């Protein structure tokens, strides 16, 4: 039962599976993998077994790649074989009706979604988004300024780790969610408090990361259970209900836009509106259901879940990087001071930074890259799948294996990044070289947060533009204040070396922490306030909703 693969090609090729911890009969290593916080264990195994190891989760083979060389060789050089996914059965096949873009197998549906998205978030189109990101960044700065001392209050997370809506984290998340909402639907998130749509987006996202957690359902691990009838498979009934609940949101966005268009409104430019127009011109004004039309157009559910993937992939990942950045800056005041000195030197006091300043801010860019390296949001990437038997470094990789690019182990590899737990932006400063993000997809890379090969994150241009504009402006405009211990007066800040500072789940993000915000002087305060007021006029001229506070 266990060595069925070896019986065939593995033994035939004379190769063994990669080394790995020995498991128990039937379940393999299933119970050795900590469900909620797997990456520390996956890194310990990397230290023990080296660049590649093997686990078995029930009948499923898992291959874990722990060096950049191994991951580049398989995911990039052999991308034809390693560009598919092995999605969690309950979260993908049932809850997402098999339509969530990020989990689609490497086939014509995925190709159609990827191609269509490229026209909205690829390198050229993402440049056209910049004026809107710029406006949203003004709103965020203003929000943080208005938040002021309120950031020092001690708020509690919700029962499932939810961020309270009046915590400063929510202000950052409004920005990142609004940006992806604009690209996908041409609409903004124009308020934070009592914004039911935002609440629902985060609830769906949190539920998805929970339900999709490897090891969450036995039916994910043991395909045989999928044959059980409904009355013996409560998880299936539950997941179908979750699908309806998700479709109220994702299908609701699509439905609203369609209604506006058919009522004759001219919608703002967006991925979905452009797609619907083109699809309608091709004779598919209506295309309900899943998958593709015979001539290759995305039908409604696939379209809704493709837009949903962008909303999900772009919000928390980008927001948490900004939150981690603040945490790292406050834990390393000398770094903050140097980054600020650079920003001040380049732009002065009279105006805010903009993208045109980026080439002259190598240290700030290095700080952002070091944030991504030291704390990658998708900390073990998103697993790929081997479609055919393969051999790497003398080891056999069975077809159907789930293949993990262990981003955390790669980023913590001391041969690649000396003193890996230290936060040292200097490691990315190369003398006399132009500023470069070095995030891939080519192999000359500084970090691996965006994955590999044909499945490489499609949103990097938008993500990096957001990180630059928000973080350069943040340290230009605002000073930070930490709460102090009532007796000792010592500033309170979570310890970056403590795992508990970050959430569990496969997107591991900082837990909420307290910071107060203050303008760095009257002049800068006035610039932020004016920029916010001007933004309101611009929203109006663009036919978009202004901010409600
Ligand atoms: C710091 C922010 C971000 C991080 C860390 C991140 C990370 C990732 C990772 C690890 C993957 C999977 C790569 C692989 O399979 O090897 C991915 C896929 C993806 N990302 Fe991002 N992402 C970020 C921001 C964004 C943004 C802003 C967008 C959209 C505007 C976006 C859109 C996507 C999409 C559509 C995919 C699916 C690609 C596919 O499966 O074909 N991401 N991202």
Confidence band, pLDDT 50/70/90 cuts, at residue 14: confident
Structure tokens belonging to residue 11? 């033994």
Residue 7 is predicted with a pLDDT of 45
The number of the ligand 1 atom at minimal distance from the alpha carbon of 113 is 41
Residue 12 is predicted with a pLDDT of 52
- What does the alpha-carbon distance between residue 286 and residue 420 come to, in Å, rounded to a whole number? 53
Chain segment 377-425, per-residue pLDDT in tens: 999 999 999 999 999 999 999 999 999 999 999 999 999 999 999 999 9
- Ligand 1 pocket test, pick from 313, 380, 448, 454 with the greatest ligand atom count within 8 Å of Cβ, gives 313
CA of 10 to the centre of ligand 1 (A): 33
How many CB atoms are closer than 10 A to CB 390? Answer: 21
CA of 15 to the centre of ligand 1 (A): 34
- Whether the bond into 468 is cis, omega within 30 of 0: no
Q: Which protein residue has the closest C-alpha to ligand 1 atom 7?
A: 450
Local structure of residue 93 (DSSP, 8 states): I
The number of the ligand 1 atom at minimal distance from the alpha carbon of 451 is 16
CA of 410 to the centre of ligand 1 (A): 18
Location of structure tokens 């928390």: 316
Residue 1 is predicted with a pLDDT of 40
Q: Across all residues in the chain, what is the average pLDDT?
A: 94
Radius of gyration of the chain (CA): 24
- Ligand 1 pocket test, pick from 129, 305, 365, 457 with the greatest ligand atom count within 8 Å of Cβ, gives 457
- Ligand 1 pocket test, pick from 450, 469, 507 with the greatest ligand atom count within 8 Å of Cβ, gives 450
CA angle 497, 502, 385 (to 5 degrees): 110
Model confidence at 221: pLDDT above 90? no
Average pLDDT score over residue span 281-298: 97
- What does the alpha-carbon distance between residue 421 and residue 34 come to, in Å, rounded to a whole number? 22
Tell me: is residue 367 an annotated ligand-binding position: no
Average pLDDT score over residue span 219-236: 90
Residue 10 is predicted with a pLDDT of 52
Confidence band, pLDDT 50/70/90 cuts, at residue 3: very low
The number of the ligand 1 atom at minimal distance from the alpha carbon of 104 is 40
Burial of residue 457 (number of CB atoms within 10 Å: 0-12, 13-18, 19+): buried
Average pLDDT score over residue span 441-462: 93
What does each C-alpha distance from 3 to 28, 49, 56, 82, 215 come to in angstroms? 12, 20, 11, 22, 21
Nearest to 114 by CA among 506, 132, 105: 105
Chain segment 154-213, per-residue pLDDT in tens: 999 998 889 999 999 999 999 999 999 999 999 999 999 999 999 999 999 989 988 887
Residue 251 is predicted with a pLDDT of 96
Model confidence at 214: pLDDT above 80? no
The number of the ligand 1 atom at minimal distance from the alpha carbon of 453 is 16
Chain segment 311-330, per-residue pLDDT in tens: 999 999 999 999 999 999 99
CA of 323 to the centre of ligand 1 (A): 18
Chain segment 245-279, per-residue pLDDT in tens: 999 999 999 999 999 999 998 889 999 999 999 99
Chain segment 87-114, per-residue pLDDT in tens: 899 999 999 999 999 999 999 999 999 9
Structure tokens belonging to residue 223? 């395909």
- Scored b (16 or more CB within 10 A) or e, 286-310 reads ebeeeebeeeebbbbbbbbbbbbbb
- Asked if residue 41 lies in contact with residue 34, where contact means CB atoms within 8 angstroms, the answer is yes
Residue 216 is predicted with a pLDDT of 80
Residue 11 is predicted with a pLDDT of 53
Percent of the chain whose predicted confidence (pLDDT) is above 90 = 85
Average pLDDT score over residue span 515-531: 98
Residue 141 is predicted with a pLDDT of 98
CA angle 393, 35, 224 (to 5 degrees): 80
With a Cβ cut-off of 6 Å, ligand 1 is lined by 101-102, 114, 117, 121, 180, 309-310, 313-314, 317-318, 321, 377-378, 381-382, 449-452, 455-459, 462-463
């Amino acid at each position: 039962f266990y060595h069925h693969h070896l019986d065939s090609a593995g033994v035939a090729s004379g190769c063994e599976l990669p080394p790995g911890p020995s498991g128990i009969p039937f379940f393999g290593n299933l119970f050795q993998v900590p469900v909620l916080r797997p990456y520390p264990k996956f890194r310990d195994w990397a230290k023990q077994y080296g660049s590649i190891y093997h686990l078995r989760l029930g009948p499923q083979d898992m291959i874990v790649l722990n060096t950049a060389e191994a991951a580049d060789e398989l995911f990039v050089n052999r991308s034809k074989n390693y560009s598919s996914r092995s999605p969690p059965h309950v979260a993908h096949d049932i809850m997402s009706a098999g339509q969530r873009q990020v989990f689609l197998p490497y086939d014509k549906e995925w190709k159609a979604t990827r191609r269509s998205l490229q026209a909205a978030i690829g390198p050229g189109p993402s440049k056209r988004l910049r004026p809107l990101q710029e406006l949203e960044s003004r709103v965020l700065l203003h929000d943080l300024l208005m938040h002021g001392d309120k950031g020092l209050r001690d708020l509690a997370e919700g029962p499932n780790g939810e961020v309270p809506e009046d915590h400063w984290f929510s202000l950052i998340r409004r920005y990142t969610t609004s940006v992806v909402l604009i690209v996908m639907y041409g609409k903004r998130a124009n308020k934070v408090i009592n914004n039911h749509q935002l609440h629902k987006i985060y609830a769906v996202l949190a539920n998805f990361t929970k339900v999709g957690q490897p090891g969450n359902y036995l039916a994910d691990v043991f395909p045989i259970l999928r044959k059980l009838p409904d009355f013996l498979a409560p998880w299936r009934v539950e997941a179908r209900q979750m699908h309806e609940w998700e479709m109220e949101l994702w299908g609701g966005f699509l439905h609203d836009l369609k209604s506006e268009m058919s009522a004759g409104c001219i919608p703002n430019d967006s991925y979905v509106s452009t797609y619907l127009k083109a699809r309608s011109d091709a004779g598919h004004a209506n295309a309900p259901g899943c998958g593709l039309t015979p001539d290759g157009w995305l039908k409604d559910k696939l379209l809704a879940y493709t837009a949903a993937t962008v909303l999900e992939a772009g919000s928390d990942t980008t927001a948490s990087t900004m939150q981690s950045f603040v945490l790292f800056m406050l834990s390393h005041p000398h770094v903050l001071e140097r980054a600020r000195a650079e920003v001040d030197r380049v732009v002065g006091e009279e105006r805010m930074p903009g993208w045109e300043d980026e080439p002259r801010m190598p240290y700030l860019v290095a700080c952002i890259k070091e944030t991504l390296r030291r704390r990658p949001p998708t900390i073990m990437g998103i697993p790929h799948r081997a479609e055919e038997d393969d051999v790497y470094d003398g080891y056999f990789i069975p077809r159907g294996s789930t293949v993990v690019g262990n981003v955390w182990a790669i980023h913590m590899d001391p041969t690649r990044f000396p003193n890996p737990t230290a936060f040292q932006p200097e490691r990315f400063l190369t003398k006399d070289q132009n500023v470069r993000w070095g995030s891939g997809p080519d192999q000359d890379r500084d970090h691996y947060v965006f994955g590999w090969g044909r499945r490489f994150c499609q949103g990097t241009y938008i993500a990096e533009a957001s990180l630059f504009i928000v973080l350069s402006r943040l340290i230009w405009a605002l000073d930070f204040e930490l709460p102090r211990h009532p007796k000792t007066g010592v500033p309170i800040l979570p310890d970056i070396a403590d795992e508990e500072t970050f959430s569990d789940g496969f997107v591991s993000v900082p837990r909420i922490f307290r910071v107060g915000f203050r303008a760095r002087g009257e002049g800068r305060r006035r610039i932020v306030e004016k920029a916010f007021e001007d933004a309101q006029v611009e929203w109006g001229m663009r036919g978009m909703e202004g901010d409600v506070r």
